Amino acid sequence: MPDIIAITAATIKDENNEVAQTLLEQGYLLAIHRALTPPSRDEQRVLLGEAVAVLAGSEPFTREVLQNAPALKVISRNGIGFDAIDLDAATDLGIVVTYVPDAMVDAVADMTLGLLLACARRITEYDRALKAGEWRRIMGADLANRTLGVVGTGRIGMAVARRARAFRLRLVGHDPYPNPLFTEELGGDYLPLEDLLEVSDYVSLHLPAMAETRRMFNASCLARMKPSAYLINCARGSLVDEPALVEALTTGKIAGAGLDVFADEPPTPGSAGETLMRLPNVVASPHVAAATPVTAARMGRAALANILGVLGGERPSHVANPQVFERGTR
């Protein structure tokens, strides 16, 4: 019987795409999650029951889920983040976890600047007012000669910084691993986080989700920001203490926020995330920063290459749990 490959990525819902067609042509059977919402635990159990690989979305892969997938050899994340995957469990079970770090850089950087501009120039407020029949000419904020704080200067943070230079924003950055190009190419200055928050008119987050960064942007951090400042997050919702952000936004401690990501997605009814979505000084989008046709195709090809590489006995370039090769793969 041919091997089965499961597909749960949100951008692939049927066989009418390049990734699925490639797998079918190579003789694999496909188990595709066709719903618009992420698979539930029970749906995962069915999809992964006999699968040798999964081209995965952002849904959680717990130890229990992985233990119920005895044939699974590789989880190929169709994106850059792998924080929802229990890497220890995957390593214990000999499952390789791969990710795609480069494909979405431009799209996410574009979205970051889009949210920043929408916040600064109050574009969504104008739009809502006009559609309600109101001709309200309210003042926006400038970008030129203001300061952008880039928290995390990896691939996406650097792409955002390069775009920001075109708007004549002054750049300051914070990163435990400074990128020399941030200073040498872009003229940015690295600062301690506390200092960055105090001088920035816009703060953009580009950190990975991990234990050290969970709720890193808490009430203390938000209190250091200017009352006129805006927080932009196209990275991970877990970076922000959402109740603290609600309080900061509703009491005027900061001016506004542009959010593409939330702690729970979609936010649960009555949660701080749901409140954030509805605040008038928040520009919100449903985790779609990478949702462009070009980016989706690029991510799919890269995630597919990771699957075929592992199944072919190769070691892909971007493995989240490299120790699995030392301890033994399935």
Model confidence pLDDT, tens digit, residues 57-106? 989 999 999 999 999 999 999 998 898 999 999 999 999 999 999 999 99
Distance CA 292, CA 11 (A): 10
Q: Region 232-258: what's the mean pLDDT?
A: 97
* Total H helices, total E strands in the chain: 14, 12
Domain boundary among 284, 300, 315: 284
Domain identity same for 272 and 156: yes
Q: How far apart are the first and last CA of the chain?
A: 19
What is the predicted pLDDT for the residue at 15?
94
C-alpha 241 chain-centroid distance: 16
Domain identity same for 99 and 126: no
Choose among 195, 149, 206: nearest CA to 173.
Answer: 149
Distance CA 323, CA 292 (A): 33
- The percent of residues above 70 in pLDDT, for the chain, comes to 100
Model confidence pLDDT, tens digit, residues 119-128? 999 999 999 9
Model confidence pLDDT, tens digit, residues 279-298? 999 999 999 999 999 999 99
Boundaries of domain holding 57: 4-103+292-327
Q: Hey, is 212 helix, strand or coil?
A: helix
Domain identity same for 297 and 245: no
Q: Tell me, what CATH number does 18's domain have?
A: 3.40.50.720
* Edge-to-edge strand ranges of the sheet holding 189-190: 189-190, 170-174, 147-151, 202-205, 230-233, 256-259, 282-284
CA atoms 300, 305, 308, 314: torsion sign: negative
Distance CA 224, CA 285 (A): 26
Distance CA 220, CA 244 (A): 9
Q: What is the DSSP string of 70-87?
A: TT--EEEESSS--TTB-H
Domain identity same for 119 and 251: yes
> H or E stretch including 29?
strand 29-32
What is the predicted pLDDT for the residue at 194?
97
Domain identity same for 75 and 109: no
Q: Region 203-228: what's the mean pLDDT?
A: 95
Distance CA 305, CA 97 (A): 13
CA atoms 101, 315, 59, 2: torsion sign: positive
User: pLDDT-derived band of residue 203, with 50, 70 and 90 as boundaries?
Assistant: very high
What is the predicted pLDDT for the residue at 115?
98
What is the predicted pLDDT for the residue at 161?
98
Domain identity same for 109 and 137: yes
Domain identity same for 130 and 199: yes
Q: Region 211-217: what's the mean pLDDT?
A: 93
Distance CA 295, CA 290 (A): 6
What is the predicted pLDDT for the residue at 36?
85
Which are the catalytic amino acids?
Answer: 236, 265, 287
Domain identity same for 156 and 124: yes
Domain identity same for 121 and 254: yes
Choose among 176, 8, 175, 3: nearest CA to 85.
Answer: 8
Q: What is the dihedral of CA 137, 143, 149, 150, to 10 degrees?
A: 100
What is the predicted pLDDT for the residue at 210?
87
Average pLDDT, the chain: 96
Domain identity same for 61 and 179: no
Q: Region 240-268: what's the mean pLDDT?
A: 96
Domain identity same for 122 and 240: yes
How many domains does the chain divide into?
A: 2
Cβ burial of 20 (10 Å; 0-12, 13-18, 19+) is: buried
275 to each of 15, 17, 262, 268, 271, how far by Cα in Å? 37, 37, 11, 10, 7
- Report whether pLDDT(271) > 90: yes
Domain identity same for 314 and 262: no
Q: Region 46-55: what's the mean pLDDT?
A: 97
